[in-house]
Structure 1
Amino acid sequence: MPAWSRNPRYIVLILVAVVTTLYLLGPFGEPDARPPPPPPRVASSIQDDDLPNRLARSDKIYEKLLLDRKELIKKFGPTPNDVALFPPNKNPWPAYTVWDFFPAAYNCPFEIQRLGALGDGGKWVCGITRVETKPDCIVYSFGINYESSFEAEILANTDNCQIWGYDFSVNSFGPEIPRSQAHRTHFRPYGLAGTDAHGPDDVHKMYTIESLMKMNGHTHIDILKVDIERYEFETLTALIKPYVASGKPLPFGQLQLEIHLWDFSFSQFLTWWEMLEEAGLRPFWTEPNLVYQNYNRGGSTDLAEYSFLNIKGDNIFIKDPKRRPPPEAEHNRHAPDPTP
């Protein structure tokens, strides 16, 4: 006689095993329509005590880069007016492009993380963990174009960051912003420019960064993203020059910027770039816009993404908000001489 017929307990065990197997292997009810959870946050392994030393080492590395740039200008110039952005042939050799003069030579003292989509849309950020729980975290994003994966991942990686987005060519953020986080976003159909101006019938409103900050009651921006199709030169010049003249630190911690070198000369770009450096901006990441180059095959790679750290002032990416670094750690941390 089979064991299961002699003892009813065997029947119960077999039924439990069958039901459990079917439950684990077979779908029950409607599939879960909820979006997948965001990726786990990246923890920073950098100790605040070591932050001044890391920045000091990065300063030395960047100072060498400035000397190397001067030598490269002499080699292919000998003056900035003689240097071509993109040499049209193999003379001079070895070949170069304008981007070789401006590498991202500054080391971010924290983790570097790409936030947003791979390809067009994402940006590289230094130390997002520094604002993970910051109660007054402020992010400005100029240039939305209905693609908001960057902004969505900032929301996913922080608890309190509020994002202000601006773009007069669209009516809202992109679909990547989840409804559960929409209360932390603020969109206006405004453009960014060097002066405040309104178009006909009060459309295409243009504002400076400082005007928008005053409008919103902000004195500091933690992360500033700018992708405005070449207007970055006019806009950032208007913002930065007064700060350079006064010696005051810029009102933001880091800058994610796409640069468009349309109708520019090397000497013009060098002068503008040196203004950024004098204001305390240091590039820690760069990549050419290969999507644009692919659409314009045979043309120059005259678009590039850069991420800058602001090494002046007391922003959260260079100073511990709880403890001030010793005075000797700040010794000789001055703006380098930009003259080639």
Structure 2
Amino acid sequence: MLAIFQRHPRFAITCALGLLCLLLLQTSGPSDPFGPRLGRLYRHGHSSGGDLDTAWRLSQSEHVYQNMLRDRAKLIQKFGPTKNDILPWPKNREFYTLWDFFIPAFNCPHETQRVGILGDGGKWMCGLSRLQDKKDCTIYSFGINDESSFEAGLLELTQHCEVWGYDFSVKDFGPEIRNVPHLAARSHFKSWGLAGKDDPNGRPPMYTLQSLMKMNGHKFIDILKIDIEGYEFPALRSLIEYSKKHNQPLPFGQLQLEIHADRMPGVKDDKKMFKEFLEWWESLEEAGLRPFWTEPNLIFVNINLGTQPALAEYSFINIKADHDVLH
């Protein structure tokens, strides 16, 4: 060895550095931003990939997302300097809108695909292949509006998924399911609404998500779609409070959500709107929801020329629940 070093010192130094790097990689573990559950996936992941690859991707995505949170704080300080000073739709040539504070910085660890019509109604999904053969696959969809291409697409792309749909403005799913017998057989519909508290005797009847799941005998929802014209704020707030009270993660794997930022309950002016919206959004993040895709509703802007771009589609992964997309 000494002779090799004397004859070829640069080669010997390079080899020594390589061995040192290899030893460091073997002895140092990856970061564990998700807590002990995903840490176990790192330590016991399969050498052929699988859980180990997914856990590594999730860890890197969370690292990127935490960096984005710091950038959000900087943007608030730049244009605020506090959240009480930010306007969601500035009119003095500031170079931002509300949505620039809430970018989908998290990456889906699997394939992403858009399911449903290419116009208003389709949604972005993460890792749908993970649910293709799952036998107890459960889908909830709130807000049908006689257009069910998204729900029909999910049923077509999976073998065993069933969908529970709710919308008090219509009497059934759209023709994409209603007129297709083999899809209609895996669907269930009620003319009820989703809300922050139960009102079974109301017109229309309104229920919390936790109450509907109990009625249907469900413990977990694989895919949750919500498009309910502003009711998403109290409905999700109620569910988060319920989950905290019972020390449970949110009971779904991923969420496809249209946000109606102009319809926050109790918010009547722009000066309060950003603060209220930020606090609501941060409650989603604290509960484990990470956005991996967004799509502004430009159809709404086009129809109502001159209006604020207050509607946006977001897709989230729940990183605190144990579900198929995470392993």
Q: TM-score range by the shorter chain?
A: 0.7 to 0.9
Paired amino acid for 1:166: Y
Work out whether 1:317 is the aligned partner of 2:291: no
- Per-residue CA deviation, residues 221-256 of structure 1 (Å, 9 max, x unaligned), is 000000000000010000012324554211000000
What's the counterpart of residue 207 of structure 1? 207
Q: Which has the larger radius of gyration?
A: 1
Q: Which 5+ residue runs of structure 2 have no aligned equivalent?
A: 1-48, 268-272
What's the counterpart of residue 175 of structure 1? 175
What's the counterpart of residue 223 of structure 2? 223
Among the aligned pairs, what percent are the same residue?
57
Is contact 2:196–2:238 with CA below 8 Å preserved after alignment? yes
State the 4+ residue runs in structure 1 displaced beyond 3 angstroms.
46-49, 244-247
How many angstroms apart in 2 are the aligned matches of 1:117 and 1:288? 15
What's the counterpart of residue 12 of structure 1? none
SS state at 1:135 partner: coil
How many angstroms apart in 2 are the aligned matches of 1:246 and 1:271? 22
- Alignment coverage as a number of residue pairs: 269
How many angstroms apart in 2 are the aligned matches of 1:280 and 1:245? 16
Q: After superposition, where does 1:1-340 map in structure 2 within 5 Å?
A: 47-90=50-93, 92=94, 95-177=95-177, 178-198=180-200, 203-262=203-262, 264=267, 265-319=273-327
Paired amino acid for 2:279: T
What's the counterpart of residue 29 of structure 2? none
- Per-residue CA deviation, residues 3-45 of structure 1 (Å, 9 max, x unaligned), is xxxxxxxxxxxxxxxxxxxxxxxxxxxxxxxxxxxxxxxxxxx
How many angstroms apart in 1 are the aligned matches of 2:249 and 2:200? 29
CA RMSD of the aligned region, Å? 1.3
How many angstroms apart in 2 are the aligned matches of 1:313 and 1:149? 28
Q: Which has the higher helix share?
A: 2
How many angstroms apart in 1 are the aligned matches of 2:159 and 2:52? 24
Paired amino acid for 1:192: L
- Per-residue CA deviation, residues 292-327 of structure 1 (Å, 9 max, x unaligned), is 0101111110000000000012111113xxxxxxxx
State the shift of 1:152 in Å: 0.5
Is contact 1:241–1:275 with CA below 8 Å preserved after alignment? no
Q: Which 5+ residue runs of structure 1 have no aligned equivalent?
A: 1-45, 320-340
State the shift of 1:65 in Å: 0.4
Paired amino acid for 1:235: A
TM-score by structure 2 length? Answer: 0.80
Paired amino acid for 2:84: N
Is contact 1:116–1:122 with CA below 8 Å preserved after alignment? yes
State the shift of 1:48 in Å: 3.6
How many angstroms apart in 2 are the aligned matches of 1:174 and 1:242? 32
